[in-house]
Amino acid sequence: MEIQNEEMESKGSYFIKEGSEKVAEMTYSIAGTDRIIIDHTEVSDAYRGSGVGEKMVKKAVDDARSKGISIVPLCPFARSVFNKNEELRDVL
């Protein structure tokens, strides 16, 4: 499953599609040139517990590191991923 990224003006999302349907999506707001704010994560029932939500957070972390920006995890799910994975916290 490929994690895709899409940005439009001040918003963006990471998502996974199966066919033409999004089966998982994590949305964020772009806050200036140096920060994104993860505000929502949703995974379809068929994919819950499969780790796709965590993979989207980790993809956002990889992208933040390469761009030199930080992440504010307002979404409770994303915040829990950061709380469980100390190695991701360098982008907070």
Domains, the chain, ranges and CATH? Answer: 3-91 (3.40.630.30)
Angle between helices 76-84 and 52-67 (to 10 degrees): 80
pTM exceeds 0.85, yes or no: yes
User: From first to last of its 92 residues, what are the pLDDT tens digits of the chain?
Assistant: 899 999 999 999 999 999 999 999 999 999 999 999 999 999 999 999 999 999 999 999 999 999 999 999 999 999 999 999 999 999 99
With beta carbons less than 8 A apart as the criterion, state whether 73 and 92 touch: yes
